[in-house]
Every structure is written in C-alpha cells, then in structure tokens.
Structure 1
Amino acid sequence: MTSPQNPPYGTPEAPLLTVRGEAELEVDPEIARIGITVTARGRDRRTTLDDLTRRNTTVLDLLKSYGDEVENLATGTVSITPELTQRGRGERVRTYHGAVHLTAELADFTALGELTTRLADLDLTTIDGPTWALRPTSPVHRQARRHAVREALQRAEEYAEALGTTLAALLELTDIGTTGGHPRAAFDRRAVRFSMAAPDAEATAPDPLDLEPPRIRIRAEVGAQFTMNPPRL
C-alpha cells in the first residue's frame, strides 16, 4: 500500500523520477545442443522401417555410450512417407522415405566435437548445430538482473544529484526482461555432407571436429520509479 507521503505520481513536494537500468554481460556458453536426423529410403515400407530402426538404434547406442556427458537426449518426430508416381490411370508408390529426429544436449565441449564427428560419419545421418546456450537456471541471469537494478539506482541518484537533492522512496521496479543467451554457430558443413554417404568399412575414424564456442551476450533491463526530495530550483 502506498503511503500518503509518497503517492504514485509526481507532486511539487515529491517529484517523480523514472529511469531505466540496463546491463549486458558477455560469458561463455554452458551447454550445446545438436539436432540429429536419421533417414532411410526404399521401395518396400517394411524394409524402409527396418533400416530406419536399425540406424536409429545405432545412433542411440553411440549417444548413450557417452554416459553423463550427454545430459539430455530426446526423440522428436518420426515419419514414414510414401513418394507417389503417376502411371496410367492410377497412382503407385515409387519409394518410401523414413526419418527420425533427435536432439542431444552436452556440457562437455571436447566430447561434443568427437561425438559430432562420429555421428556425421554414420550412414544417412545428418547433424544440425550446435546451438550454444546458457542453462535456464544459470546464475548469469541473476547476475545480469542485479547489475540492471544497480544501474537504475545509480542513474536515479545521478539525476537527483544533478538537481541538488536526494532520492526519497522507490515507488515501482519493473522487470522489462532478460534477452540473449542463444547465439548460433555451425560446424564444418563438409561433415554434414559427408554423413550422407555410406561409410567406408576400411576407412579410419575421422578426426574430431575442433569446435570453438562463441561468447554469449545476455542483456537485462528494468524500469524504476522514485520520488525525490524537493530540489531548490
């Protein structure tokens, strides 16, 4: 409840001061996400499904072999789609296309480079990413908000000092929002194209990709309203 001595509007006895506080931090990412698409195609629906199941199992086994280094693993959409061709008066199925989409989240970026390379070396497997981010519970978010509040208070004090007075009371603090934290960087796309070809059984394992995580910019902004002691103008 607002005190009668500090109403939520400006008066000559309690001038209103409205300011905005902003903070921008640049930090290292905490997690990386990659998208994995496993595909299969064939003229027979059951054969296509069997191939898709086998390749999906191979990918899942590889991901799970990294243990806790893969913090989250989820299967998205699964599809088996017939491709039709027009022949005479009727339609016929020319081929079937199957796909399974997965996402994996890692915090160990050294393991990420190795895992990405090994996935891209699998038959008919495509990699998308990585997407770099902060955790939702990262203390960086709180740090940015605290900086924004201190910036708002400092700005308000500087305005009051310029008028030869001081702040009297805080009337309102508004969280305008925290943005950023999700830059995107792609690894070498040659690895993705290579993944579309069948692997050579006699070829040696590819060298791990050297991934360089980008710095993440996170921005917080608040609005604040203060009353001031009456300045002598």
Structure 2
Amino acid sequence: MDHLAEPDGAAVPYGTPGAPRLAVTGEARLEVDPEIARIHVTVNSRDRDRRKALDDLTRRNAQVLDLVKSYAEAVEQLQTGSLSLRPQFGSKGRGENVRSYHGHVLITAVLGDFTALGELVTRLADLDLTSVDGPWWELRPDSPVHGEARNQAVREAVQRARAYAAALDTRLAALVELADIGAEEPRPQGMPGLMRARSAAYGGEMAEDAAAPLDLEPRRQTVYARVNARFTMHPPQL
C-alpha cells in the first residue's frame, strides 16, 4: 500500500496537516438461506466372529452407499471417512479374551437439493445399525454471497468516511489503504436444524411400511465481512 510521506521522502504511518488521514471500519452482515446440507451416516456392525462382523459391515456400507447414490441429482458429494474394526475384550479373565468385534464406517453426504433430504434421512435412519447426524446447513465456499458481503463492507466504509469528511466541510482526496481483516466468516450451523421436504418418493419406490419422511426446515446462515479503510482528505478549514 502507499504510505503518506513527508517532503524528505520518509514514510509516516499518519496524516499530515496538508493531507489529513481518516481511518474507518466497514462492516456487513447478511442473513441468507443455506445452499447445501451435510449429513454424517455411521454404519455399525457387531458379532463374536470377526469375519461375520466384517461381512456385515461391508454389506451395510454398500446398502447405504447404494441408497444415497440413488438420489444422484440431489447429492453433490459422497465420501467415506473413518473405518474401523476392533475387538471388544471381556472385563474378566486373563489373556486375549475377545468378547466381540465392533466395526463402523463413517460416510458423509452433501446435498444441494433439499426436497430429497427429509426422505433420504428417514430411509437411512430406518436401516439396521445405522445412525444419522445432521443436517448441518452451509453455504458453498464459492458462493457469491461472500463477495456481496465484502462489497457491502467496502461501500459502508466509504460512506462512513465521506460522512466524517462532510462533518468537517471537506471531502475525501484518496484511498490510502484497504485492509481485509477476516472479511468473511460464514458460520455453518453446528446444531441440526429442520427443513421442509416433499413427501413424494425420490430415487425409487419406498416400501409400504417405510417411515414417513421428516419435515425439515433450513436454518439461515450468517455471513459477516469487515474491512479497515484509510483515506486522505483535503485539509478542512477549522
């Protein structure tokens, strides 16, 4: 950034009588609807026989993946996280007394079509030894909302600086510095919310005895932007 300088060329971090400096902060806070919903699906298995526990885990994992993939147009991202199969030892006795084997797989799905979310969550929760956490509502990283918040923060800084200059019966001369100090802080909501989903079957026919889809309501997101701006202004007549 340019710096104000005395006649001898030495840069100074402050204004001069001939070019007073004005420092302001611009802020913007937008409340918007989420663009995506993230859910975590945990598939579990448990058996005294290690191979049986692994086979069950493999089968249930494939069942979950097939179900999620059947909502192809609604699912923007599907990925497997942690996987484990570990022995559970007995509380009594000595040596390697394995009581059973516990397995789990963590699957994350991101949906951009909320009309399918309630139905998918319900169908996943209805599977054996399968748990669902979420949804967590978010904005996409490249959402234009982030840029709009930054633009509003800059406009607010300029407007505030002009108001200060007008109070001194003068006007701004030049922009000296515009500093991004964490201009965007999208805040994905950590608490599961609710969102309204249509009840029609999506991605295949549902069984007659299937649970009714959940009515889910999206949680609005807060996007915050803040900038520091420094200007020079024409010397006021004090």
What is the identity percentage for the equivalent residue pairs of Structure 1 and Structure 2?
61
Query: Does 1:229 pair with 2:226?
Result: no
Give CA deviations for 1:103-142 in whole Å, capped at 9, x if unaligned. Answer: 0000111101100000000000000000000001111001
Matches of 1:37 and 1:182 in 2, distance apart?
A: 21
* 1:185/1:214 contact within 8 Å kept: no
Structure that is richer in helix per residue: 1
Aligned to 2:174: 169
AA partner of residue 92 (structure 1): N
Q: Say how many residue pairs are matched.
A: 220
Q: TM-score, normalised by structure 2?
A: 0.87
Aligned to 2:149: 144
Q: TM-score, normalised by structure 1?
A: 0.89
* Shift, 1:223, TM fit: 0.5
Give CA deviations for 1:186-207 in whole Å, capped at 9, x if unaligned. Answer: 258xxxxxxxxxxxxx970111
* Shift, 1:3, TM fit: 7.5
Aligned to 1:180: 186
Give unpaired runs (5+ residues) of structure 1.
189-201
Aligned to 2:213: 208
Matches of 1:208 and 1:55 in 2, distance apart?
A: 21
**Alignment RMSD, CA only?**
1.9
Query: Does 1:160 pair with 2:165?
Result: yes
Matches of 2:81 and 2:132 in 1, distance apart?
A: 14
Give unpaired runs (5+ residues) of structure 2.
195-206
Query: Does 1:2 pair with 2:2?
Result: yes
Distance 1:9 1:187, change over 3 A: closer
Matches of 1:5 and 1:187 in 2, distance apart?
A: 54
AA partner of residue 16 (structure 1): R
AA partner of residue 19 (structure 1): V
Secondary structure at the counterpart of residue 34 of structure 1 = strand
Matches of 1:179 and 1:4 in 2, distance apart?
A: 31
Secondary structure at the counterpart of residue 179 of structure 1 = coil
